[in-house]
Amino acid sequence: MREFMQICGFWFVMSLLWCIETRASAAVLPPGDCPETCGNVNVPYPFGINDTSARIVNPRCAMNHFFMLTCNSTYNPPALYFGNIPVQNISVDEGTMSVTIDEAFDCYDKAGLTMNINRWMQLGDGPFRFSDTRNKLTAVGCDTLAFMTDAEGTFGSGCVSLCEENITLEDSCSGIGCCQTAVPRSLKTLNISIGSVDNHSLVLAFNPCGFAFLADQRTFNVSNFRLSDNPYSTKDYPTPDVVIEWVVREETCEKAQSRSNTSEYACGDNTNCTFSENGRGYRCLCREGFTGNPYLQQGCQDIDECKEPEKYPCEGSCKNTIGNYTCSCPLGMHGDGKTGCQGFRITTLATVLGALMLVSIIIFLIVIIWKKRRKEKNFLDNGGKLLKHQRVRIFTEAELAKATNNYVTSQLLGEGGFGSVYKGVLADNTQVAVKRPKDLDKTQLNEEFQHEIGFVSQVNHKNVVKILGLCLETTIPLLVYEFISNGSLYQHIHQRRSQILANWKNCLKIAAETALALDYLHSLANPPIIHGDVKSANILLDDDYTVKVADFGASVLISPGQSNMATKIQGTFGYLDPEYLMTSNLTEKSDVYSFGVVLVELLSGVKPNSSIVMRSGEKTNIIQKFLSSLENKKLSEILCFNATDEEMEEIGVFAELAKQCLSSSGVNRPTMKDVAEELGRLMKLHQSLWAQQNSEETENFLGGDSSSYLSIEIETTKMKQPDTLNMTTISFEYSADSV
């Protein structure tokens, strides 16, 4: 009776917990934080675990409260319970649960009965039944009567085990020392009682006790028992497993599948529904050729039979298909391959070698002809007739392959969304950077595209990376640029711990040269160019640490009369203009905003998309931190270098300029011409300070007389362009860090 009350109490508590949550639908994915094991027992969905050490139970971990099991973590190892019944194993495929239930027993001495323990078992209101196919009522003893009934008294059954001498129990129960009888179908309650005919008086010397229990016929081994066993002495025999069958709902498959609310159907994808007569409900099974948990929303996944040849034989060539596989017999043989192949393999060495040689020669000739025609076709498709008359060098595919050592990994300078850039050395020892685009829309290989190549080849400014030539023999043209040796500004700020940026004057120089390049693109190029991806990774430094703006993969040309252009969002988050993000309209002021971010990056040494924890504990980014420091007159707190009082005045002007560039409204931002002029004015104010400093660092950085920098001028080559040139995307520049 005490065990019965414990079971009822368990189900009552779980029912209350379940009422707290909205009823979960079947065939769903349980939360990711649901425990999946208790001790050495795996607990698959639809079952869930109520860990006794946890304060809160998540009902969604199980399909419903009937499937919520208890894990007692105080044991070592932890033990899993169904009510108060220990659980040993759960099978989703068979719809079974193996549990341990103590046996009924009685014991005698010369005075008569000393102990009689019967067992009462109830599986609650859930969809659980004792398995009628796996379990049998079993009795062990030489004077033992075992009986079983249900709670309603609708059936009764039993068996008698007798023997006259101390025998060894082996193999199966035959009625001598051990007997068995079947369990009826759809049994939810069970009372096992035990008795004796002669109080073991005739066999007391070797058999003082009798046992009665349910036992799973797959795992039960009667030889584990001895007739002399006593439950209160050292128990060295294992308690047999009992199998409980379960279904997800006590209704037919047809009724479950016909519901208007399909979410209540428990089976996931690639599954079948099967009805259990014992459970009076349905279960889910993976379809043939699929595996997994059929009760999860994603259901079962396809089995790759070709990876399991021991289970799925194939004598020939195996190919996986959805839910199955095919097997083709070797050349010269026939059959389905799964059950075997018939015939003779073609194994004559001369035949094979001759055929291979003939095929190889034919393929070799075809490849040579195809490569030659492909190069000729690519050259023409890529505008070779027009471009060979432009001011651009045409390289051969073989020439660039030799220059880059066939694009060996050690020559890789950078890789990104547009392609890869490799360092190369031409036959005349000229160092170059070769860009191999990963992909390019072939619709761009039209007349406008060819004119753009000619245009980019004529861009001439000391602070913009120059294109030296291109290769038209490949499907997508390979672009060749001047090699920039000292990497990117991003590397010097964040990776190399470079001393170049350890003082104010060098930061100002780099900012001013970058501004000159962007001003040239906006104001003096014909037609004007919006860079579209201004960031420190696209600002390169050469041997003399002169700025070279690179990577025009996101750039656009602005036709006369246009001030902006709607494009798909491109660029790098952290540098992108907020107006551009909202409207998709790229303008020259978008470059101004990105340049403002670079100015803050130069001052602070912090990546734009990095999170900063304020003293208040709140998180912010470097832009907001910069604006706050500027407003509170604490600019020195974010600087990544030391500065004198005189330099701090200039840095203050520099910071105010950055603030204007970072205005949320493009109308309120200065033009790049205004920015370049203001930075040039700052450099002239610093002229006297630079003239006095003749350190080795200054000589190396500026390449000689520092005052010569004051003569920075914009070098341009204006080109004649058709008045009707439409805007299109440029993709002919590179960056060593971000392609």
Which whole number is the average pLDDT over 639-664?
92
| Domain assignment present for 615 | yes
| Domain assignment present for 24 | no
Q: Please, how many CA atoms are within 13 Å of residue 383, restricted to the half-sphere of its CB? A: 20
C-alpha pair distances (Å), 609 with each of 7, 152, 436, 572, 597: 57, 71, 29, 10, 10
Which whole number is the average pLDDT over 72-95?
92
What is the amino acid identity at position 565?
M
| Domain assignment present for 619 | yes
Residue 630's pLDDT is 93
- Say how far apart CA 342 and CA 564 lie, in whole Å: 72
**Phi and psi at residue 233, to the nearest 5°:** -95, -170
Show the tokens assigned to 658: 């950055």
Domain boundary among 302, 317, 341: 302
Q: Is the pLDDT of residue 297 over 60?
A: yes
Give the CATH number for residue 260: 2.10.25
**Domain containing residue 704:** 488-730
Residues in the chain: 739
- Say how far apart CA 643 and CA 661 lie, in whole Å: 23
The model carries a pTM of 0.47
Q: Which helix (H) or strand (E) holds 289?
A: none
- Say how far apart CA 637 and CA 639 lie, in whole Å: 6
Domain count, the chain: 2
Q: Please, how many CA atoms are within 13 Å of residue 671, restricted to the half-sphere of its CB? A: 9
Q: How many CB atoms lie under 10 A from the CB of residue 261?
A: 7
Residue 456's pLDDT is 61
Band (686; pLDDT cuts 50, 70, 90): confident
Which whole number is the average pLDDT over 25-41?
74
Q: Is the pLDDT of residue 386 over 70?
A: no
Within 8 A by CB and 6+ apart from 238, the residues are 224
**Phi and psi at residue 262, to the nearest 5°:** -65, -15
pLDDT tens per residue across span 50-83: 887 766 678 888 999 999 999 988 888 899 999 9
| Domain assignment present for 736 | no
Contact 562, 727 (CB under 8 A): yes
Band (192; pLDDT cuts 50, 70, 90): very high
Q: Which helix (H) or strand (E) holds 538?
A: none
Angle separating helix axes 588-604 and 504-519, nearest 10 degrees: 170
What is the amino acid identity at position 665?
S
Domain boundary among 302, 324, 341: 302
Residue 707's pLDDT is 36
Q: Would you call 353 helix, strand, or coil by DSSP?
A: helix
| Domain assignment present for 684 | yes
Give the CATH number for residue 614: 1.10.510.10
Q: What is the radius of gyration, based on Cα positions, of the chain?
A: 42
Question: Catalytic residues, which ones?
Answer: 533
Is the sign of the CA dihedral 259, 261, 265, 268 positive or negative? positive
Residue 687's pLDDT is 63
pLDDT tens per residue across span 429-452: 999 999 887 655 555 444 444 444
| Domain assignment present for 613 | yes
- Say how far apart CA 503 and CA 120 lie, in whole Å: 86
Domain boundary among 275, 302, 329: 302
Helices (H), 442-587: 447-456, 489-494, 504-519, 578-583
Q: How many CB atoms lie under 10 A from the CB of residue 688?
A: 9
pLDDT tens per residue across span 133-187: 999 999 999 999 999 999 988 999 999 999 999 998 887 788 899 999 999 999 9
| Domain assignment present for 226 | no
Residue 512's pLDDT is 96
- Say how far apart CA 527 and CA 588 lie, in whole Å: 13
| Domain assignment present for 317 | no
Within 8 A by CB and 6+ apart from 482, the residues are 432, 433, 465, 466, 468, 548
Which whole number is the average pLDDT over 101-127?
92
Q: Which of 15, 47, 21 is nearest to 266 (CA)?
A: 47
Contact 100, 196 (CB under 8 A): no
Higher pLDDT, 389 or 495: 495
From the annotation, which residues make up the binding site for ATP? 435
From the annotation, which residues make up the binding site? 435
Show the tokens assigned to 633: 């007159």
Cβ-in-10-Å burial (0-12, 13-18, 19+) of 459 comes to: buried
